[in-house]
Amino acid sequence: MQFNVWRGTGEEMDFSGKRKAVNTLLSLTLLLVVGLSSGTVALAEAKSASNNTANKGYTYAQDPVPQVIKTLSPSVVGIIGKTAAGSSGSSEDRYNLAHGTGVIFKADGWIITNAHVVNGLTGITVVTSDGKTYKANKIFSDTISDIALVKINAKSLTPAQFAKSSNMAQVGEKVIAIGTPISFSLRNSATVGVVSGLDRSVDSSYRLIQTDTAINPGNSGGPLVNLKGEVIGINSMKFAAVGIENMGFSIPAETVRYVAGHLLKYGEVKRASLGLELEESWSAIVGLPSDDPLTVTKVTSNQAKKAGIKEEDVLYAINGKRVYSIVDINEMLKSFMPGAKVNVLMQSDGDIVNRSLTLSSGVVTAAGSAGEEL
């Protein structure tokens, strides 16, 4: 700011006095302005701090992810054990360890994990989120579904809540993976992504959930959770290659319950089978939309032979529901036990026929391998 300078004779003293008075007035004005400004800033800061205090947890109210992780983490465990042999070939190597993740299924010590996490491990130890360790004393494993149950001597654990059906999930829905990636010291790490796809039939006898949530080695057996805090799947595998990013797959909650229910009741999964080896159409194999039926390549059960089914027959439907792939058949047969009867719609020698078939034991598996186990 510029000021006019007074010039003249006989008034220097008076001007000096006036100048001092003006300077004093300006100084007071500046102090007042600065004081007001500082007070305004201080008041704004105090108000902001007050708002932050009053609205503590505001972020959580807007984004449920932290609360979901906080709620579910006590139900997630780390699993570690010794593998058969290390690089030195000695099973006595104390660093010869492998680990994965598990989810508390029942309060009395039943833990859900992947079969490939526990298969081949000895001296399995389960570590809960609060740092308590337990030795596994019983293991049931089903390699077809890649689901296993581990029993520990514990009571009053916090079981996870499993969704009634993963069919309620939507593509694009936000989900969270919690697990033990890379190092056992990183237990209960969380990553966030979305459901990328549903009903995927890659390298599995059953349908899988696809997600872009970061799933790393060690996450296997951990939960894929929706924002309601429900486990919609158990993380099982991913595509891993140069140029491929964020393509993980989880076993849906309904398959987990189906397998776990059988393991708890029978110690194994009593699957029902058509007693047939079937070939999918070329379109179904490569993933093209198709309504082509399946072709019988081999009759493997006496029940199927008694039903009059033979090689080169074509299968269209089971109990009135069309099937297009081996995964379709396995999913449908989850609701049956060996010995049950179903009606199959087939084409035989050019004729469309209905046959009554008694189910045998077993499962039809898809050929080939598309994913990498974690």
The answer to whether 84 and 91 have CB atoms below 8 angstroms apart is: yes
Q: Which residues contact 73 (CB under 8 A, 6 or more apart)?
A: 129, 178, 188, 190
Nearest of 72, 153, 76, 141 to residue 109 by alpha carbon = 153
Nearest of 234, 278, 258 to residue 367 by alpha carbon = 278
Q: How large is the C-alpha radius of gyration of the chain?
A: 33
What is the set of active-site residues?
Answer: 116, 146, 220
Helices (DSSP H) in 163-233: which residue ranges? none
SS3 318: strand
SS3 100: strand
Cβ count near 95 (within 10 Å): 8
Q: What is the dihedral of CA 149, 154, 160, 165, to 10 degrees?
A: 40
SS3 289: coil
Calpha distance 96→89 (Å, rounded): 10
The answer to whether 167 and 234 have CB atoms below 8 angstroms apart is: no
Q: At CA 184, angle to CA 181 and CA 186, rounded to 5? A: 60
